[in-house]
Structures are given as structure tokens and as C-alpha cells.
Amino acid sequence: MNKIRTTDLIPKRKRQKGMQSSVPLSSYQIQFNDITIFIVERKMGASRRMFLMDLARRKGFRVENELSDSVTHVVAENNSCSEILKWLQIHQVESGSRFQLLDAAWLTACMEAGRPVDSEKYQLLVSQIRKFPTLYLPYRTVGSYSAYAVSQYACQRRTTLNNYNKKFTDAFEILAENYEFRENKGACLAFRRAASVLKCLPFTIVRVNDVEGQPWMGEQIKGVIEDILEESESSRVNDVLNNENYRLSKLFTSVFGVGLKTSEKWYRMGLRTLEEVKCDANLKLTRMQRAGLLHYEDLVSCVSKAEADSASLVVKDTVWRFSPNALVTLTGGFRRGKKTGHDVDFLITVPGSRQEEELLHLVIDFWKKQGLLLYYDLIESTFEKTKRPSRNVDALDHFQKCFAILKLNKERVGPGSSIKSVASAEEEMKDWKAIRVDLVVSPFEQYAYALLGWTGSRQFERDLRRYATHEKKMMLDNHALYDKTKKMFLNAASEEEIFAHLGLDYIEPWERNA
């Protein structure tokens, strides 16, 4: 039987001197000689694998660095039996080998008991993998925060707005944004995933070892954490904040209608301020960009919850004028409990009606006559009824939608609002504020999926779709859930039913701030 070297299991870019255990194997006392364990790194990550190997050895278990004939128990996490069998085949391991294929829950149960436990219920069966829908995976080490190891999927974590690690997650978000500007999707996603994990932890990180065993905690992530712990700041983050390209990308993309390509174009043209953009006679701006610059000071300021509630009254009053039975739901960050946002999103559906697509046209015409509409872009539905959900976890949906800038009269805003003028005396006289409002119209039978998708957060939705694909052999988007095994669409009248289809505990909207 061929041996798989430990170095073969670790991607080359991750092989760093800190990856190997510093404790000699001879220093561990083996208590359970009948068991020899090999831990598969696939879907687990190198750091968590090394952590579990060291923990098991300290508990008296024999753990091999290499997969050989002496191994009796192969342990994997978030893998099905068929996936592990395929992995073994790729590495030229005979399928008739005499070891057991077990979920990592068996190993963590052994750690908790301090001895081997019955492995029968932890065996990986074909097309089956044990799932952990709870917030924390069940393993413990005394005096360590490893007791709070969480799932790699944000949809299996409860993430409120109570962030105990904001100084770290803020740093990760800046680094992620910089990589996004540079169109480095892999590095951007790595820092966003790490930030998402830290946001759900019920304790503050006080040493680097506190993140051992957590998913997505690579060496770069740990390096930033260590810098902040030692210096109260990260030199990498400071370098980004002082970088002209980053600062101008952030400035230009803060304009409504300006994306990365336009931002880069303006930078190459030598433009360095928004005033230069406004004054460049040769610059061809879109309608959206002109509106974004015209109302920039209003749009770049945060929308308060009081302003969102006022916008909600305007939207509901108008929609119900034409369709009294319509459901109008405030979605996005405000549905997740946030107090501020950059825009206000609404999902609209009409039970028992097939006239949903006419509704937005009526709303837009009414707002035009009322003088409330400062800008709008209406996009008609492109949904095909026979179309399966997209395989792309970041795919846009096909609903009819309107991206608008609404004139919100200040007298409509409640006493809790803090709308403040920005600059000139003319601004002081203005009795309204421009805010971005997105209206999305969904057919009633797709409403539950649309509500789930438009509630967010982005990372929660991304992981929910990834979980559906990799763990359940399903395809999920804002329109539907398709079971590839049964070859059928799964109907759902509520978000709870969608979670049930996926075998997940229901996560409340205010717990989706991943």
C-alpha cells in the first residue's frame, strides 16, 4: 500500500515552518494501542488538523502523520463517505483497506470522554454525512476556547450584531476590500470568511492560540491577529489605508453607479478628487453616476433606522394604493437588526395575483407625479420558470426590481432621526434627504426564497448556497431550491421550511449577521 506523506496533504502555498508539530512523537504516552488514527485534511484545513492531531495524542491516542496499513480509523470532517472513497482512490489507497471511515464527531466525542467511544453511529455511509446544525461543535479542552470551535458554514452559526472581536474583523474587512479592489477574489474571500468566524465567537480573542481549531484561520489571518494583539494595530492594514490606489478606489466606488472598472479608469486618467470628476468635460457619465454625484453628500451618509422606517411608510402607502393585499417587507441589514445602512431594501409580493410586474410601473409613475423620485432604474424580470437555480453562489437573481433615489421629506422622519446638513447655507435650507431605495417584486410562490436571499448577510447567503451544493446535493438561489438527487424543485411557504429542507436549524434574521 502506498503511503501518503503529510506534505502531500498540505497545499504548497501553506507549507510553512509553523505547520508541523513542535512536540516530538516520542514524548506522547500511548494509552490505547488498539487504535491508530489518521485525520484527513480535506475540507478541514491544515491548522485544525494539526490541532486535533496534537489534542488526540495528548489524550493518549496514536495518531499517524501518514496513512498506512497500521491505521485503523480514518477521520474526516464535512466529507461524505463517497467523497472520502474518491479521495482515497486519487491517492491510490485500496478501497478494501481495513480501517473504519468515521466523522470527526467520533474523535471529538473521544476527546470529551477521555477514552475511545463506540464508533458505530459515527461511521460514514455512502451519500451520508453527519451534520452539526448547532452553533458549537462538541469538543472540549480544559482551559481553552477550543470548546467553541464553529462550523465552516455561516449558515450553521448564529451571528448577532454583538461582535466581541471588532478590532480584528474591522482589520480583516479593510484587507478584504483592498483585495476586492485589486480583483483578487481568493484573498478577499479568505479575509471575509475569517471575519465571519470571529464575529460569531462569544468571547474576545486575547491570544493567537484562541483561534486554533477554528475554520478559515490560515497563517496570514493569524499574523494579522498577532500584530494587533502585540502592537494594537496591523502594519498591513496601515499600509493599505495609506495607499493612494486604495483610498481613491474607496472614494470613487462610494459614488452611486461607479464600479471597479470605472474607478480604475478614472484613476488612470489622473483624476484624484470628485471635484475633478465633476469638472472633466470629456468624461461621459451614465445617468446613475450623474445622480450619484448630484446627491453624493446625502447618499454617502448612513441611513438611520428612523429614516428607513419613514421610507417604509412611503413605500407601503404607495404600494397599497394600487394593491391593498400586497406584502411589503423591509429586508437587508435593517431586517437583521442593524441601526444604520447605506440603502433601504424592500421585497414586494401580491398573494393570489398574477399582476405583480405592473405594480412597480404604477408606483414609479405615482412618485414621479408627487415629485418624490430623484432617479430610478427599472429592470424587468428575466426569470425562466423551467430554469434551475444558479451554480454560482454569488449569482444575481432575475426578479423585477427598481433601484431608486427617493426624496425623503424630513418632517416624515421621527424624533430619533439625526439628519444633519452637510455643507452650505443652501443645504441648511433643504427640507429633504436623498436616500437609496431598492424595490424587488417576487411572485408569491417564490416569496420565501426571495425573502431569505434579500435578508442577507452576503456571507451568510454565500455559505447557505455552498452548504446546499456541497453537503446536500441541492441548488439554492433567490428563486428556488432544487434537489439534484430527487430531480425536483422543493416548495417552501416560509424561510423555516427552506432550512428544514436543508436539514438546518432555523436561524433568525437577527442571527445572520455573518
The domain that holds 80 is classified in CATH as: 3.40.50.10190
| 482/411 same-domain check | no
CATH of the domain at 186: 1.10.150.110
Residue 280 resides in a domain: yes
Which of 103, 210, 298, 343 is flagged as catalytic?
343
Find all residues with CB under 8 Å of 369, minimum gap 6, and list them: none
Give residue 454's pLDDT: 97
Q: Give the CATH number of the domain where residue 393 resides.
A: 3.30.460.10
> Are 54 and 80 in contact, with CB atoms under 8 Å apart?
no
394: annotated active-site residue = no
pLDDT along the chain (514 residues), means of 10: 41 40 68 91 83 89 87 86 76 64 88 86 57 35 51 95 96 97 94 96 90 92 96 96 97 97 95 96 94 97 96 97 95 97 96 81 96 96 74 80 94 49 54 96 95 97 96 95 95 95 94 96
160 lies in some domain = no
Residue 346 three-state SS: strand
Chain length of the chain: 514
d(CA 113, CA 136): 17
> What CATH number has the domain bearing residue 504?
3.30.210.10
* First-last CA distance in the chain: 44
pLDDT of the residue at 99: 79
Angle of CA points 503, 506, 512, to nearest 5°: 120
- Which residues face 37 on adjacent strands? 63, 73
Question: Is 440 found in the same domain as 458?
Answer: no
Picking from 444, 464, 482, the residue at the C-terminal end of a domain is 444
- Cβ atoms of 473 and 83 closer than 8 Å: no
438 tagged catalytic: yes
What is the 8-class DSSP label of residue 351? Answer: T
Q: How far from chain centre, in Å, is Cα 126?
A: 29
Last residue of a domain, one of 444, 462, 479: 444
According to DSSP, residue 141 is labeled -
507 closest CA partner among 459, 444, 443, 470? 459
- The answer to whether residues 436 and 338 belong to one domain is yes
Does 46 lie in the same domain as 125? yes
Residue 459 maps to a domain: yes
Residues 310 and 343 in one domain: yes
Which domain, by its residues, includes 104?
6-130
Q: Kind of pairing, strands 432-441 and 344-349?
A: parallel
The one-character DSSP state at 46 is: H
Same domain, 90 and 224: no
If asked whether residues 305 and 440 sit together in one domain, one would say yes
Instruction: Output the pLDDT for position 25.
Output: 65
Residue 431 is a catalytic residue: no
Residue 16 is predicted with a pLDDT of 41
- In this structure, are 413 and 315 located in the same domain? yes
Q: What is the DSSP string of 247-316?
A: HHHHHHHTSTT--HHHHHHHHHTT--SHHHHHH-TT----HHHHHHHHTHHHHHSPEEHHHHHHHHHHHH
Element (H, E) at 329: strand 327-330
Q: Is the peptide bond before 249 cis (omega within 30 degrees of 0)?
A: no
- Tell me if 67 is assigned to some domain: yes
Helix axes 260-268, 166-181, angle to 10 degrees: 70
Same domain, 479 and 459: yes
pLDDT of residue 133: 31
Q: What is the pLDDT of residue 427?
A: 54
Number of structural domains found in the chain: 5
Spatial separation of the C-alpha atoms in residues 130 and 125, rounded to whole Å: 9
Interhelix angle 447-455/458-472, rounded to 10 degrees, is 120
Element (H, E) at 54: helix 46-58
219-231 helix and 166-181 helix, angle to the nearest 10 degrees? 130
Distance between CA atoms of residues 277 and 274, nearest Å = 5
| In-domain check, residue 180 | yes
- Say yes or no: 397 and 474 in one domain: no
Question: Each residue of 394-422: pLDDT tens digit?
Answer: 677 899 999 999 999 886 555 444 434 33
Give the residue from 359, 422, 355 showing the smallest Cα distance to 346: 359
Give the whole-angstrom CA distance, residue 151 versus residue 136.
Answer: 7
Catalytic residue among 345, 397, 463, 477: 345
pLDDT value for 98:
65
Q: In this structure, are 205 and 99 located in the same domain?
A: no
Q: Is residue 150 part of a domain?
A: no
SS3 239: helix
Q: Distance (Å, rounded) from C-alpha 189 to C-alpha 176? A: 7
The C-alpha cell of 500 is what? 428544514
Residue type, 108: T
Q: Say yes or no: 229 and 350 in one domain.
A: no
Check 54, 438, 483, 505 and give the catalytic one: 438
